[in-house]
Every structure is written in C-alpha cells, then in structure tokens.
Amino acid sequence: MRSTAGGHGNLLAISDLHIGYAENRALVEKMRPHTDDDWLLVAGDVSETVADIHWALETLSGRFRKVVWAPGNHELWTHPKDAVQLRGVARYEHLVAMCRELGVTTPEDPYPVWDGPGGPAVVAPLFLLYDYSFLPPGCATKDEGMAYAEGTGVICTDEHVLHPDPYPSREAWCRARVAETERRLAELPEDLPTVLVNHYPLDRHPTDVLRYPEFAMWCGTRLTADWHRRFRAQVMVYGHLHIPRTTHHEGVRFEEVSVGYPREWRPRPGPPDTLRHVLPMEVGTGDRGAASGIGRDRGDTR
C-alpha cells in the first residue's frame, strides 16, 4: 500500500474542472506542480466525455508525481455527444481501466500512503454516489423530496443521463458502493490517519449554504456521516457544490476544492486554478467561503 512521496512535496487538490468550457481547459493547460514531488488529488467532474477526461488526466499525470482520481457525477453521464455510450457500472469500469493505463490511482486501486510533509496518511479516493437521504426541510421520503424539487424547478441532470445499470436505481448503486468502501476502509491500519477524497461531502453540513437547499438530495448520503471520525480523517476533500472553502466539523478539516463554471469563478478574487494545499496545511487557513454566488445556479440543473 505504501508509496514514497519524497521529502519536500505537497499533497494538492482540485475538482470540478469542467473542461468542456474552453476557459477551464485553458486552466488545465497551464496547471503545474509546485515541486517535482507533488501529488494531485482530482475529486471528480473533470468533464462529460471520455476523450476530454483522458486528455485532462493524461496532461496532469505527466506533470505530477502521482494523480489520484475520484469520479464525479459528470464523468458518469452517458452524454449524447460522447463517442462512448456505455452506461452505469460499465462506464465507470471503462474509466478505471483508462486511468490505470495513464498511471492514475482510482477508487479500485490499493490506497497509497502520503509520506511527505504532514504525513504519513493513507490517501483514499472514494466512489460513493448519493441516495437522496439529504432531504429538503419538511420532506420525509424521496418522493416528497422530488415533488418539492420539481415544484422549484431544481432537478439534477443526473436524473436523465446518469444511469445506474445494472442496479435498479442510483440509490441502490450508492448503497453497494458504501458497503464495499466501508469494508476496505475498516481494513486500514489503525495507526495511520487518512485523507478521504470523494466528489460529494461525507457529511451534510457543507450543503447548508446552498442557495437551493433541495439540491442537497444529489450531494451525498447520510450513511457516511461519521466516516471522517471513524476512519481517522486528517482532511476530507470534496467538490460538487462549486463553493470552494475550508470548514471544520467535529475537529476535522473539510476542503471543498471546486473550480466550477466560468461564470462562477470569474467574480472570485483569487485565481480559479489555484491548487488547494491538503498536506502540509497552509498557514492561516481558517474557515473560508466563496466570495460570491453561494450555491447560485448549480450547473447540474440544466
């Protein structure tokens, strides 16, 4: 399980690159490590087409000592413009095979250990999906939650293009992924902390700032609410919300590392392609939120 990180590297992270936008693709083209020993965690939503995902991960894996990828919902879309029309598990397995050819670590591979500054720590990329358990206020079931969301017009595009085949539903696929991942995490050495990398936050609290709270249904599962404590997380890295910020929950640092869409990152004061330091932690990082547009027009509703 152990990988050597070198003595002076950084464990860096980013997500939601969405390189289907020319401006975002340009960000990846100029993205570089800080040192020759840097690792990069990519927490999903690289793009919707296999060709774009391949280009981005190949580009990054050629520059960073190690690239670790956890899939987002956009990678799992069977997009009508994609030459690869695989669905569900078959699509995910195709992406895993592609990553292995590129030397990119996936949730199906042995978890590497970061031995650089701030380590050692097991770096665990996760693929868990969601099960509609982050319900809107006043809703007790998925059907009630979906009816509420339909009434507001906030429906995730996943409902049309993220297929769970051969599972009967996305929530069934989620529960299978949670069970298998939980088993693997429980087998890790108890003397090692972890860096947990998932497209969705493992706890619901980051979704509290969504402008449209009903979108939380597509943002994770209550089944993982205690994983940051159970599995000794130093840091929980996620994306999906397009609200880049650092928060702390029950003594654990949660890092939302999204780039997001150009209309979202243009108003922010910092460079959109800034790679977030996971380990060692940047001096002076407290709780921080997006400068503007908290949860505004989350792109998956289109």
199-227 core/surface letters (b: 16 or more CB in 10 A; e: else): bbbbbbebbebbebbbbbbbbbbebbbeb
Please give the average pLDDT of every successive group of 10 residues along the chain, which has 302 residues: 65 98 97 96 98 98 98 97 97 98 98 96 98 96 97 96 98 98 98 98 97 96 98 98 96 98 94 93 52 36 38
Q: What is the pLDDT of residue 270?
A: 87
CA 185 vs CA 107, 131, 204, 227, 230: distances in Å = 11, 20, 20, 9, 9
User: Can you give the pLDDT at residue 5?
Assistant: 53
Residue reference for tokens 């908290």: 294
Q: What is the structure's pLDDT at 9?
A: 94
Residue 301: the pLDDT is 44
Of 123, 112, 102, 126, nearest to 50 by C-alpha is 102
Look at the pTM and tell me if it is higher than 0.85: yes
